[in-house]
Amino acid sequence: MEPVSVAVLGCGNRGQYYASYSKLHPEQLRIAGCADSSEIKRKKMSGEYTLPENAVFISAEELLSQPRFADAVFICTQDREHVEHAVAALEKGYHLLLEKPVSPSVSECKRLTEVARRYKKEVVVCHVLRYAPFYQTLKQLIDSGELGEIVHINSSEHIGYWHFSHSFVRGNWRNSNESSPLILAKCCHDIDTLLWLAGKPCRTVSSQGGLYWFNEKNAPDGSAKRCLDGCKVKDSCVYDVEKLYSIGFCGEGSFLLSALTQDITEKGIKDALAVSPYGRCVYYCDNNVADHQQVTIETEGGATIGFSVCAFSQECYRSIHIMGTKGEAVGSVNKNKLELIRYGREPETICLDAEESGSGHGGGDMLMIKHFIDLVRGKGGGSPALLEQSLTSHYVAFAAEESRQKGGIPIRLSD
């Protein structure tokens, strides 16, 4: 069987990572073309996947104006561009792997649903957690009835102070007017996974939280607007860019460094920090997204889900505690194991396959690509129901954000 051929739209962190699946499994996936506005990234992709000149484009729009030359596209451009690119790609006859969030606008989400229904192509939204062995195992436990009826799920996303400052204070997702609110940008796949685990639709949602720390009033005396411009408190500040963006701290392959510069040398990093938005002091940025948020979901039937997301942790990880009428399951996705407790019996530790869980998002990233390839090859048929299911998490996130902005009032999803 021929490998599925794909053109990558947006060759940043996600685009390059998903494309790398073809190096592990050339019999399943072939990169046939790409588009990116950055010349360095286009050159990198052309070199790594031996792309002909006529399959490399300076924009997604230009690639999509050509006759179709691959089976599918990976849409890995920025949040507000996804729907335009997705609609144009469907019209050309491509299957879509579409980065989340689909869009920060309800009407755009609905528009895509309608177009997807018309063209009947596979559309997989990158809700990667669903595919991770950790969450798949939890889903099997719930479906087997071992835990009884699920009454409450408590889950937290600990972003990590270094990740939060990079992406949500200095970086692409810092300002909801340019990208999306935190609860959509970072957590639509948490909400997707939690609703999928609960197995019941959301009835009401309420939410509280806000931007607590990263603003001018918390700037220490002696700080400067950019870390390299004479900041006097560099040594004691954990957000100092010379610490965070050092190869020693994050490692050469880190997404922090690749977002900052394509020249990962000490000089390249220092030059970039002198001019890039990533060189700014965290207390003097144009950020407005929440740094902590709590969401309560009530499902049809009265079960509840509590979800929290917070900037302030050392590590970046997700934890979950599922409470049922017969038992509970507890774990953290980065630990490769979970604890199953059947009431009145000894707890059981379930260890997950370390290799399968080893890629990004507890193994979900690469397993999602495999799932997508299977769908394109006609094994399974997900569309359009899969897109509509994925978008439910977006509608819940929009309602959560509305509730947060209105001081925590409950929002009925039917409204």
Ligand X SMILES: NC(=O)c1ccc[n+]([C@@H]2O[C@H](COP(=O)([O-])OP(=O)(O)OC[C@H]3O[C@@H](n4cnc5c(N)ncnc54)[C@H](O)[C@@H]3O)[C@@H](O)[C@H]2O)c1
Residues that bind ligand X (CB under 6 A): 9-15, 35-38, 41, 59-61, 76-79, 81, 99-100, 126, 128, 172, 185, 259, 361
Identify which of residues 9 and 387 has a Cβ nearer to ligand X in the complex.
9
DSSP for residue 205: E
Please state the separation of Cα 115 from the chain's center in Å. Answer: 24
Find the shortest distance in angstroms from Cβ 62 to ligand X.
8
Do the beta carbons of residue 54 and residue 66 sit within 8 Å?
no
- Shortest approach of ligand X to residue 386 CB, angstroms? 15
Residue facing ligand X at closest CB distance: 12
Nearer residue to ligand X within complex by CB, 172 or 246: 172
Smallest distance from the beta carbon of 12 to ligand X, in angstroms?
A: 2
Cα–Cα distance, 350 to 348 (Å, whole number): 6
Instruction: Report whether 233 contacts 223 (CB < 8 A).
Output: yes
**Cβ atoms 208, 294 nearer than 8 A:** yes
| d(C-alpha 238, C-alpha 412), whole Å | 41
* Residue 147 or 368 with smaller CB distance to ligand X: 368
In angstroms, what is the minimal distance from the CB of 19 to ligand X?
Answer: 11
Q: What's the Cα-to-Cα distance from 397 to each of 10, 95, 323, rounded to whole Å?
A: 25, 26, 23
Which of 195/340 has CB closer to ligand X? 195
In the complex, the smallest distance separating the C-beta of residue 38 from ligand X, rounded to whole angstroms, is: 5
Nearer Cβ to ligand X, position 92 or 361?
Answer: 361
Sheet with 29-35, edge to edge strand ranges: 56-57, 29-35, 4-9, 72-75, 95-98, 123-125
Specify the residue, 41 or 371, whose C-beta has the smaller distance to ligand X. Answer: 41
What whole-number distance in Å separates Cα of residue 413 and Cα of residue 415?
Answer: 5
The CB-of-380 to ligand X minimum distance in angstroms stands at 20
